[in-house]
Structure formats: structure tokens, C-alpha cells
Amino acid sequence: MQILVVATVMPAVREELGAIYLYGWTFSASGLGQFAAIPIAGHAVDRFGARRLLAVTLVVYSGGLILAALAPSMLMLVLARLIQGVGGGAVYAVSLSTVAKSYPENIRPRVLALLAAMWILPGLLGPPLGAILVSTVGWRWAFASPLPVLVVAAVLTFPALQDVVGDREKRIAMGPPLVLALGAAVFLAGLTIHPSVWTAILVLAGLIVALPPLRRIVPAGTFTARPGLPAAAAAAFLLSMAFVAADSFATLMLRAVNHRSLAEAGIVLTFMTVAWSAGSWWQSRVVPRWRLGNLLLLGTVLVVVGLVAAATALVYWPLAVSYAGWTVAGIGMGIAFPTIPLSVMNVAAKGEEAGQLSATLLMDTLGVAIGAGLGGSAVALARATGSELRLGIAGAFAIGLGAALVLIAIARRLPQTEGAPIDSAV
């Protein structure tokens, strides 16, 4: 709910706090925090169990919400979103790791579809709630309002959560994820500052710092999408990058380019989330009869078609085409997104499910951060050169489409359990 409310209110935040060059950072910072936390949290779940880790991460996430609600500037909001990302990333790792550890292979697709279905109510209520908060008590309550919900969620969750622990003596390497987050932050800083000689210096420095720890964390062969677990990690990165590069600017486009109200712009988020849930439900029904690579390919093609249609709002086509495009893209994400972690869960070693899954989740959140960051750099570059905002947003769409086209080329390389049926229709 909070994710969708924030996505709706961010244009209003920008109007009050300014600093348009940091707009993409409000999304990237959360992603940076997430992928710093996910590898650590994944191995911590294997070692200590989910319950203890969940308690700590809910406290961290709540602290990020409070700081965001009180932020006096866009920079402080970015820092608060970073803290939120640390807590949210750990919760994400706990959630999917619990699925991997607690459910047999034939049940997992249904559980992932159920998780996706939990987006329906937030999709229906989140954007309208964000618009109401902005027009009444203010956007800051978009960050404060989830706090009571977190208390209720904790009360409901902890009694039912079972700790399935592995080797308590296994060492958790915290250095590489933290260095990776630092390098990625420097890289994104280079992309989003005003174009100058520092742009190239920061981008290069970020890559030099980030790539060595990233190589240590992800499976060997990830950078070349070697078939199996490496391809799953690469696919997670590309899928999230493709969608988020464009999605981060959906409400800004409708608000600033098409001059729609926040309520009208928020309808896009409702369409996307409901469509995402529908796509995930269909995926869970057909997954026994399809190869996972074919499902990922189908979902990615739908994302490409949807983003192309969504981008027509930039050239002032009827907005119905753009809204339909976001809906198609949502269906594609609903099919593709759960397929990737499912492929990893099905081949993960017993007792190491969370650790092996964490590399794919890391690449997923890295894709979120890089996608939002590159999209933000396109917007910042357009503003720095005096171009129209819509040209910057068009650049963000182009980045997303490029990542999706690369994913189409490697989609069939996902890991597949032996004896899995091949869909005769594909």
C-alpha cells in the first residue's frame, strides 16, 4: 500500500521540495538499501531463522517511514528512503525465503500467485488514498500512515512464522553487499548530477567499486547469462530495470506532460497492480504445463508491447491507449516476475534456499535501482539541456525497452528441473 501511495504522491512532493534531479533518487535510494540488505538477510534467514530477522527489519523500516514523513528537503527524503529500503529488502528476503523453505515445489506457484493477489487491494485503494492525502492532510502522511498497519501485521505474522534454520556457524559476509551499495550509489550519483567532467569520473569510480563485490555475490556467469542460476539472476536484473525505468515516471508523465490530476494519474497504478495480480494468477495455473523460460519470454514480450503503448502519451495520443498499455505491461510482469524466483527455488540446495535465492533477489532490486537511476538521469539531462520534460521521460522509456529486448534474447536460459513438461503450444 505504501509503495503505491508514495508513487502517487511523488509529483506533489517534487512540487513542494523541488530538486527534480533527485526525483529518480527517491526510488533508487530504496533499491540501494534493498540490495545492500538482501544478501545479508538471505544468509541470516538460513542461519538464524525468519522470526528474529523480521523483528529487526520492521523496526528499521518504521524508522525510515518516520524520517521520510519529517523530511525537510528532497535530499533528506532520499536518505529516509534508503533506510526504508534496508528494512524492506530484508522483509522481501524473509518473505520469499519462507516460501522456499516451507512449501513443496508443486505448491510454490500458488503461493507466489497469492502474494501477487495481495496487490489487488492496495492497487485499488493506494492511488486514491495518495490523492486524498495530498489534497487534505498533505503528502507526509503517505509515510506516517502505514505505521499502525505494520503493528497489526507483526501481531498477525509472528505467531504463524516458523523458524527453519540451517548451519548457525556459517559466516555471513557483510562486506561485499555494503561495498556494492556504495559503488552503486557513486555510479548513480554520476548519472544524476548536472552533466560535467564529474559525471564520467563518478560513473567510472562507481563501476570500479561495485563490480568486484557483485561478482562475489552473484553466481559465476551472471554477467553473460549462462544457462541456469546465472541466467535467472541476470533475468531478474533486466526485468526490473525494464519495467521500473519507465514505471517510475508514469505518474509524473501524466501529471506534468498530460496535465492530469493526481487522482487521474493514480488510476494507472491501479490498472497495473490489478493486471499484475491477474497475470500472476494465470501463471500459477499454467506453470505445470509450460517451461519456465517460455513463460518468462511471453511475459517479457507483453511488457515490451505494453511500454510501447504506454509511451504514446508522450506524443499526445488518446490516453486510453497509454492506460491500456500499462495494463498489458502489468499482465506481462505478473507472468514474468514470479517465474524467475520460482525457477531458483525449484533447483536450490536443501538448507541453502535463502542464500541461493538472495542472489536473484539482489539482482532484482539492483535492476530497480539502476532502472530508476538511469531513467532519472535521462530526465535530469533533459532539464540540464533545456529540453522538454517529455523528452527526458521518453529517454527513460527507451532505457526500459532496451533492457526488455535483451531479456527476450536470454529468457529461455532459466534453470529448469529435470523432467519438466514442455508446452506443446510454444
Per-residue model confidence (pLDDT) at position 194: 65
* 247: amino acid identity, one letter: D
Higher-confidence position of 61 and 35: 61
Judged against a pLDDT cut of 80, whether residue 263 lies above it is answered with no
Judged against a pLDDT cut of 50, whether residue 424 lies above it is answered with no
Cell, residue 395: 529517454
Of 13-17, 139-143, 202-206, give the lowest mean pLDDT range: 13-17
Question: What count of other Cβ atoms lies within 10 Å of the Cβ of residue 305?
Answer: 16
Task: Assess contact for 329 and 307: CB atoms under 8 A.
Answer: yes
Average pLDDT over residues 104-132: 77
pLDDT tier for residue 250 given thresholds of 50, 70 and 90: confident
Judged against a pLDDT cut of 50, whether residue 246 lies above it is answered with yes
Determine the distance from the C-alpha atom of residue 293 to the mean position of all C-alpha atoms in its chain, rounded to a whole number.
21
Per-residue model confidence (pLDDT) at position 354: 67
Could you give the CA distance from residue 26 to residue 13 in angstroms, rounded to a whole number?
10
Per-residue model confidence (pLDDT) at position 168: 55
Per-residue model confidence (pLDDT) at position 208: 93
Taking the chain, what is the end-to-end CA distance rounded to the nearest angstrom? 36
The sign of the dihedral angle between the CA atoms of 330, 336, 354, 345 is: positive
> Which is nearest to 61 in space by CA: 76, 81, 77?
81
Per-residue model confidence (pLDDT) at position 165: 59
Could you give the CA distance from residue 50 to residue 7 in angstroms, rounded to a whole number?
29
The sign of the dihedral angle between the CA atoms of 214, 218, 220, 221 is: negative
**Helix orientation angle between 319-345 and 292-310, rounded to the nearest 10 degrees:** 160
State the alpha helices, DSSP H only, in 103-119. Answer: 108-117
* 335: amino acid identity, one letter: I
Task: Assess contact for 380 and 39: CB atoms under 8 A.
Answer: no
The per-residue DSSP string of 150-217 comes to HHHHHHHHGGG-------TT-----HHHHHHHHHHHHHHHHHHSPSSHHHHHHHHHHHHHHHHHHHHH
> Which is nearest to 395 in space by CA: 273, 252, 245, 267?
245
Class of residue 336 by CB neighbours under 10 A (exposed 0-12, middle 13-18, buried 19+) = buried
pLDDT in tens, 52-67: 788 888 899 999 999 9
Task: Assess contact for 362 and 308: CB atoms under 8 A.
Answer: no
Which value, to the nearest 10 degrees, does the dihedral of the CA atoms of residues 75, 80, 83, 89 take?
-100
Average pLDDT over residues 134-139: 81
Cell, residue 153: 501485521
Of the CA atoms within 13 Å of residue 275, those in its CB half-sphere come to 22
Q: In sequence order, which residues have a C-beta less than 8 Å from that of residue 305 and are 6 or more positions away?
A: 325, 328, 329, 332
- Whether domain 2-413 has CATH 1.20.1250.20: the reply is yes
Average pLDDT over residues 269-295: 88
pLDDT in tens, 398-416: 999 999 999 999 999 998 7
Judged against a pLDDT cut of 90, whether residue 340 lies above it is answered with yes
Task: Assess contact for 423 and 289: CB atoms under 8 A.
Answer: yes
Task: Assess contact for 242 and 407: CB atoms under 8 A.
Answer: yes
> Which is nearest to 80 in space by CA: 143, 17, 136?
143
Higher-confidence position of 62 and 125: 62
Task: Assess contact for 372 and 27: CB atoms under 8 A.
Answer: yes
Higher-confidence position of 86 and 35: 86
The residue ranges of every structural domain in the chain are 2-413
